[in-house]
Structure 1
Amino acid sequence: MGTPDNGFPDDTDGDGVPDGGPLRHAVRLPPRPGLSVAWPSWVPESVAESLRGAGVQAPWTHQAEGAELAHAGHDVVVATGTASGKSLVYQLPVLSRFATDPRATALYLSPTKALAADQLRALTALGLDGVRPAAFDGDTPKEERDWARRNARWIFSNPDMLHRSLLPRHGRWAGFLRRLSYVVLDECHTYRGVFGSHVALLLRRLLRVATRYGARPTLVLASATVAEPAAFASRLTGRDVVAVTRDGSPSAGRTVALWEPPLLPELMGENGAPVRRPAAAESARMLADLVVEGARTLAFVRSRRGAELTALGAQRAVVDVDPELVPRIAAYRGGYLPEERRALESALAAGELLGVATTNALELGVDVAGLDAVVVAGFPGTRASFWQQAGRAGRARDEALVVLVARDDPMDTYLVNHPQALLGAPVESCVLDPSNPYVLAPQLVCAAAELPLTGHDVETVFGGEPARAVLDELVEDGVLRRRPAGWFWPSTREQPAASVDIRGSGLGQVAVVESDTCRMLGTVEAGSAPATAHPGAVYLHRGESYVVESLDLEAGVAMVRAEAPDWRTDARSTSDVEIVAVRGHRQLGPVQVCFGDTRVTSQVVAYQRRAPDGTVLETVPLELPAQELDTRAVWYSIDEQALADAGIRTARIPGALHAAEHAAIGLLPLFAICDRWDIGGMSTALHPQTGLPTVFVHDGHPGGAGLAERGHAVLADWLAATRSAIAGCECRAGCPSCVQSPKCGNGNVPLDKVGAVAVLDIVIAALDRERS
């Protein structure tokens, strides 16, 4: 499902706001007929017959176009809507090649195990002889992995296994790699930011090893609708890729509603701010109502905890109406054990579950047929992800409902009150930077361990000069050895891939273990563990509450006990930003605008126990180690006299800057493909290096992910939207919908809403003068 051309096209119905209630906007997207063509002449009848038996009578136009390109040996990306049948684009050339070449092999990579398992099930159901597909992921038992390596022709895996197992042991896979004809990259739009940069270099490692074995596989990429798909796919793979974007599949009619939960006058939030009914609670109510009506519904939420709470809330809501519906509602999220995930996936596919609250783990193309509705609890960070989630509804070609429930957040508030920014704007470009030294260095080490790196490899595969600079440092540090023939990994050492995390912070995972039973409940990312799994934190798993007893970051273990306290916990932290190098500087009258390298030091110093209504019951000090992050930031500094002239005296400066910082972080995802948890910030009335009141917004990943750089490039538009969100909020002194942040380490103190508007007016005026 893609965005309408302008958000309010002539053939939509019922757009507008019927009253001043929580429904801010509604628009009906009309159904679209499908355009089919004949099977390509090169498709064997046995393959076509199996596909017809699975319900595919003929390919849609984009399926045939993409399959023709791949069959002819062109690298291709198919960027069409959700449920448009992109799988057929790679199934046709791969299965046809298998039918004519009994030795050919193929590799399928997806970002999630669930998607790979779903595609494997669909392929197996075709019942074709000689295909021999097999899963190869972290859940695959050793004996099945061994069988797959020796016998499988089509491996279904993910980047993690390619990185940690297949490439480091490529000699054991020589037979498979020598005959490798196709590499499929499903849902490739997810490969963005730091993870995408790792995957880009991982693909270069794969193609380099395949070349050593004499293979040059054709690449077939499938993507949701993204901006400039050919350019993105080419950056990702390092090869020229042709894009297929004209969607020939039919689409069901959908009504898209933008919903802002009402303010709760009887409750006051942090520091007396007004609060809205939480998006998770509103979504739980909607999920329950839809399940009671018999509508198969997915509710997408932003966090693992949110998935648990939404499912639990929906179960409680239906118990008095029909207790038999309670087991037909469940949560699905990352961190579950493999057997739990598989059971939930099977129950969902079989229709045993009516309502599922899920993280974006089910955003991707797992085949869930017949969904009637999708509830999106909070803008998912990008327009591309929103349309991907929305497209899960209506797969049965009946009318479907999509509801975006706004969180108490600047971005969500802005979008539901400026619907054209969501429904009428194009989807974002995917940002990745394979030259990021924090990504490039470990990937080059892994590549050298697989095969010694030559000068030709450095120039043609890994980017030339940036790679040479990183290699010089690796040699100087003794990590690699330089010889006339190239760069070598010392053979006496273990393979480095096991210590390189291609996802998240790079700090690995922390296991959450129940102390009484020693049962592992799940995992949390080590980088976020001090804030989410600190001693005393309340941890949720599948609707059950636990309290963290201890956190050992070195051992990677958090011990918890089963307990259901009547409070929740919020971490409190301090942070500082050091400017390491300035890469861009503009002096605009009283305003300085900069972009560069920074070192961010943060430390969780306490946590608060809060009652269900948000009241602080107790603040408990913590002693956890400080964490350093070398990353990139955009910042602006303002002369204190300019602030005084705008009515912001010295005492108000901290609150005005702090509020402007929070809101800007909340709105950056409108301009860069990220969410607010990918970025951070810090504001100070006097920064020791600038000597001025300064606001920083920085990437949340080592080396940066291109987000601050993007913010620097669009600073005027970004800050203008930020100002609009603050000024347009109906609260008096600031609330979560405008300037309060859910991850503020200072408890959202101090904040000055009026002062934030004045700060932004100063910077915007300076930027406008520069543009004029």
Structure 2
Amino acid sequence: MTSTAQSPAELLHRLRARTSASPVTHVEQIPARAGRTAPWPEWAAPDVIAALGAHGIAQPWEHQAVAASLAAGGTHVVVATGTASGKSLAYQLPVLSRLTDDPRATALYLSPTKALAADQLRAVAKLGLDSVRPATYDGDTSREEREWIRQHSRLVLTNPDMLHHGLLPGHSRWGAFLRRLSYVVVDECHAYRGVFGSHVSHVLRRLRRLSARYGGSPTFVLASATSGDPADAASRLTGLPVTAVTTDTSPRGATTFALWEPPLLPPSPDNPDVPPERRSALSETADLLADAVVAGTRTLAFVRSRRGAEVVATMTRRSLDEAVPGLGDRVAAYRAGYLKEDRRRIERALMSGELLALASTNALELGVDLVGLDAVLICGYPGTRASLWQQAGRAGRAGGEALAVLIARDDPLDTYLVHHPSALFGRPVEATVLDPANPYVLGPQLCCAASEAPLKAEDLELFGGDAARTAVDGLTASGALRKRPSGWYWTHPGRPDVDLRGAGGAPVSVVESSTGRLLGTVDQTSSHVMLHTGAAYLHQGVTYLVDELDLDDAVALVHHEEPDWSTHARDVTDVSVLGVRSSVNAGPVGLHLGEVEVTSQVVSYQRRRLGSGEVIDTRPLDLPVRELRTVAVWFTISPRALDIAGVEPPDVPGALHAAEHAAIGLLPLMATCDRWDIGGLSTANHVDTEAPTVFVYDGHPGGAGFAERAYATAAAWLSATREAIAACACEAGCPSCVQSPKCGNGNNPLHKPGAVQVLDIVLTALATADNPTPTPAPRRPEG
């Protein structure tokens, strides 16, 4: 096994020496911490203690023993401690003890990824507890294996998707398993957020209902990264009272954590008026990864997209082979979409030392036991502090020193964070946001429950009480459910078609015209922007042009071409206020939370020259209007307040637009969302508010909880937004402050100084405002 020849501090010095001007904006030294052990609980099965002892675990850490004992006593518990703190033992100890002591008991383990379930299977199997018969049950499991698992396995490891699509609809074949179900383990539960988390919350309620139908009453044990309020998030996820264990008593090696901002590129001689751009985070990460490999440092680079992971791995291999032929073979990419055999081969090669470095998506963030890593490179802020610390925690072998480097993208949030280290270090991580009452989630999930067994009146309390009763009434009126004396029945022959991880219909298939080869898929929501006729679509580093987008058949036909231009869709968006949940009246400023309807239409696209960004032409498109009913937060400002602050009337649209962009970019600092989860609109005079207004809305039907979080933290959120704009050194606005990569108006107009003035007005008014008070929905304008 290869070991590093350099300490984290030495490696960081080597990386910094690549450029004359240091790109490091901050270095945080996180000290080592000693661990505290506890004796084995008296209830723990001797065979389990012996098996763990044979694998080097002499005693549990104190937090493991506390969480395990709560679970063993029937208390639903969430253990929310740091990466590599041994959360697995906290649930393995009570689960395996019960399965060992009671030969009829069963247990279910849920994880958000196949890789994590496979890793847990390896960990349990090596303990040699033959009577447990653990097995993974997922999309890779053959039909023959599935039948054996149903009949014989006592510890089934699966994911929410398989539980939703396979186990629950076929519950009659799982009756014996559900009747004896003692524990349900929900691993990495902080991953269940937004619409996905809201769906999973109802899948777990459906599991509880069916288990009770067969006589089971399992104890839930959840494992989470440290989060803002793990007990509340776990309770919303399961619908049960949950006790949190949050004190981490495991030992930890020292970590050097550096914040890294790529340098500015030289201005373009062809177009000197274009604002300077920074070197891409992908290129910077590839260079750092190559330097780490040359230094003999075992390194994992986290990259946000599948394509980005492939690009970083390719660039790193090319750079290394130019220096030392063959050295590039010690670098690989790892992402979802690989075959099961390929994923396992890569994992083994990294663990053995055959590979020195991986460029991975967050498929390796969640819990997979990768021992022996010295450094982690994080290409772009992963969206939440919880994910940041999960990824950074992958480094540090057996308590040894580790290096973590966050490489900033040219993005308002990344730029803000690398210049405001206090926003990352010494602060609690975000609360996990999910909304089980979202009607666009609740309705379909109630249909799923009714298709599994008739819904009874008492079941509706489990699914949300009044919200569920309202939803059932609507479903009955629409004909989806039929009421009988014994309950509500699903009326259709097939099962409801519900996708846990998305909304908006079947994904659009991208097909190469000449060969019929399926290149990939794009979700319906993004297809109008990414796959319109004439769009340049990038797949694994290769460019294809879209010949036709057929929305009825959900297919886009493309052909390979390498043009010297890129395409950028332009859309028209409007927001109508449907109702107001809560408001703050702050004199010249109003802050509101409520339901809105967003209508948008992609109307044209620009072709822009690669490199210079020069607009070649704008071409019209004829695509249908899309409608979205969701939740938004918005603020209004009186025209007089803008006038007093010195924002000239011609600058108002650009000032509001720039503030909107930056606010969207900074919201992930407060909520567990990505800027692509949310949208916005700004206008100098909105028809419903009759004032200059900035909207930020959830990009999911019914909302995902992000707008509520923005409303609750408005002062902190907008203060960070204002600071990010004011601190940026550019003159007129750039991708680091007010330009947005997803703007449908081509980032025009934007007025950076005016955005600071707008936010000053809002923050000053909110600082003197009364507490938020609910108000009735505004009267809709007639006509």
TM-score normalised by structure 1 residue count: 0.93
Whole-angstrom distance in 2 between the partners of 1:126 and 1:542: 40
Partner of 2:361: 359
Aligned pairs, number: 754
User: How far 1:403 moved relative to its partner?
Assistant: 0.7
**1:380 maps to what in 2?**
382
Secondary structure of the equivalent of 2:267? Answer: strand
**Cα distance in 1 between the residues matched to 2:620 and 2:372:** 50
Aligned-partner residue type, residue 260 of structure 1: E
- The change in CA–CA distance for 1:591 and 1:37 in structure 2 (over 3 A counts) is closer
CA distance in 2, matches of 1:120, 1:285: 36
- In structure 1, what is the Cα distance between the partners aligned to 2:620 and 2:446? 42
| Post-superposition offset of 1:351 | 3.5
Kindly state the Cα deviation for residue 137 of structure 1 after the two structures are TM-superposed.
1.1
CA distance in 2, matches of 1:532, 1:397: 45
Query: What does the per-residue CA deviation read over 1:310-350, in whole Å, with 9 as the maximum and x for residues that have no partner?
Result: 22222232221123232332332334455544444444344
User: Shift in Å at residue 501 of structure 1?
Assistant: 1.1
Distance in 2 (alpha carbons) for counterparts of 1:566 and 1:350: 43
Contact 1:595 1:634 in 2 (8 A): yes
Query: Which moved further from structure 2: 124-133 or 216-225?
Result: 124-133
The corresponding residue for 1:5 is none
Partner of 2:739: 740
Equivalents in 1 of 2:161, 2:320: separation in Å?
40
1:303 Cα shift?
2.2
SS at structure 2 position matched to 1:265: coil
1:763 is matched with 762
Work out whether residues 336 and 522 of structure 1, in 8 Å CA contact, stay in contact via their aligned partners in 2: no
Structure 1 residue 666 and structure 2 residue 665: aligned? yes
Deviations 1:677-716 (A, max 9, x none): 1111011122222222211111111111111122122222
Question: Cα gap change, 1:593/1:245 in structure 2, threshold over 3 Å: closer, same or farther?
Answer: closer
Q: Which residue identity does 1:293 align to in structure 2?
A: A
Q: Distance in 2 between matches of 1:516 and 1:126?
A: 53
Between the aligned partners of 1:334 and 1:512, the Cα distance in structure 2 is: 18
Amino acid at match of 2:552: E
Give the whole-Å Cα distance in 2 for the aligned partners of 1:146 and 1:540: 41
Secondary structure of the structure 2 residue equivalent to 1:182: strand
Contact between 1:371 and 1:396, CA under 8 Å: does it hold in 2?
no
Matched-pair contact (CA < 8 Å) for 2:585–2:769: no
Matches within 5 A, 1:371-520: 371-459=373-461, 461-490=462-491, 493-496=493-496, 499-520=497-518
Separation (CA, whole Å) in 2 of partners of 1:538 and 1:347:
36
CA contact (8 A) 1:331 1:542 kept: no
- 2:684 counterpart of 1:690: no
Residue 124 to residue 510, structure 1, CA distance change in 2 (3 Å): farther
Stretches of structure 1 that go unaligned for 5 or more consecutive residues are 1-12
Alignment check: 8 A CA contact 1:226 1:428 kept: yes
Q: CA deviation at 1:218?
A: 1.2
Shift in CA distance, 572/294, structure 1 to aligned 2, threshold 3 Å: farther
Contact 1:609 1:619 in 2 (8 A): no
Deviation at 1:271, TM superposition (A): 7.0
Identify which of 527, 550, 554 aligns with 1:556.
Answer: 554
Structure-1 residue corresponding to 2:774: none
**CA distance change for structure 1 residues 641 and 476 in 2, over 3 Å: closer, same or farther?**
same
Q: Residue 735 of structure 2: SS of its match in structure 1?
A: coil
Residue identity opposite 1:729 in structure 2: C
Q: Is contact 1:295-1:373 (8 Å) kept?
A: yes
**Identity rate, percent:** 60
Residue 7 of structure 1: aligned partner: none
SS in 1 for 2:100: helix
Structure-1 separation of matches of 2:89 and 2:416: 38
- Report the counterpart of residue 120 of structure 2 in structure 1: 119
1:78 is displaced (CA, Å) by 0.9
For 2:695 and 2:272, the matched residues in 1 are separated by: 23
In 2, Cα distance between the equivalents of 1:169 and 1:708? Answer: 37
Backbone CA RMSD of aligned residues: 2.4
Q: CA deviation at 1:26?
A: 0.3
C-alpha separation in 2, matches of 1:576 and 1:409: 25
Amino acid at match of 2:713: V
Q: Matches of 1:271 and 1:697 in 2, distance apart?
A: 30
Contact 1:510 1:523 in 2 (8 A): yes
Q: 1:553 to 1:392 in 2, by over 3 A?
A: farther
Post-superposition offset of 1:607 = 4.7
User: Is 1:600–2:602 an aligned residue pair?
Assistant: no
Q: Which runs of 5+ in 2 are unaligned?
A: 1-11, 772-783
Which SS does the other structure have where 1:734 is aligned? Answer: coil
Cα distance in 2 for residues equivalent to 1:480 and 1:435: 19
Contact 1:201 1:443 in 2 (8 A): yes
**Alpha-carbon shift at residue 562 of structure 1 (Å):** 4.5
| C-alpha contact 2:584 2:770 (8 A) present in aligned 1 | no
Q: How does 1:76-115 map to 2 (within 5 A)?
A: 76-115=77-116
Which of residues 568, 573, 576 in structure 2 aligns to 1:575? 573
1:126-275 mapped onto 2 (5 Å cutoff): 126-267=127-268, 272-275=274-277
User: Which residue is equivalent to 1:33?
Assistant: 34
CA deviation after TM superposition for structure 1 residue 663, in Å: 0.6
Q: How does 1:246-325 map to 2 (within 5 A)?
A: 246-267=247-268, 272-325=274-327
Q: Cα 1:146–1:61, aligned 2, differ >3 Å: closer, same or farther?
A: same
Match in the other structure for 2:631:
632
**In structure 2, do the counterparts of structure 1 residues 68 and 271 end up closer, same or farther at CA, with 3 Å as the change threshold?**
farther
For residues 730 and 466 of structure 2, what CA distance do their matches in structure 1 show? 52
Alpha carbons of 1:669 and 1:303: their partners in 2 closer, same or farther (altered >3 Å)?
same
State how far apart, in whole Å, the 2-side matches of 1:123 and 1:524 are: 37
Deviation at 1:550, TM superposition (A): 3.8
8 Å contact 2:608–2:617 — kept in the other structure?
yes
CA contact (8 A) 2:351 2:372 kept: no
Q: Does residue 719 of structure 1 match 2:718?
A: yes
Q: TM-score, normalised by structure 2?
A: 0.91
Q: Is the contact between residue 607 and residue 622 of structure 1 (CA under 8 Å) also seen in structure 2?
A: no
Q: Which amino acid aligns with 2:99?
A: F
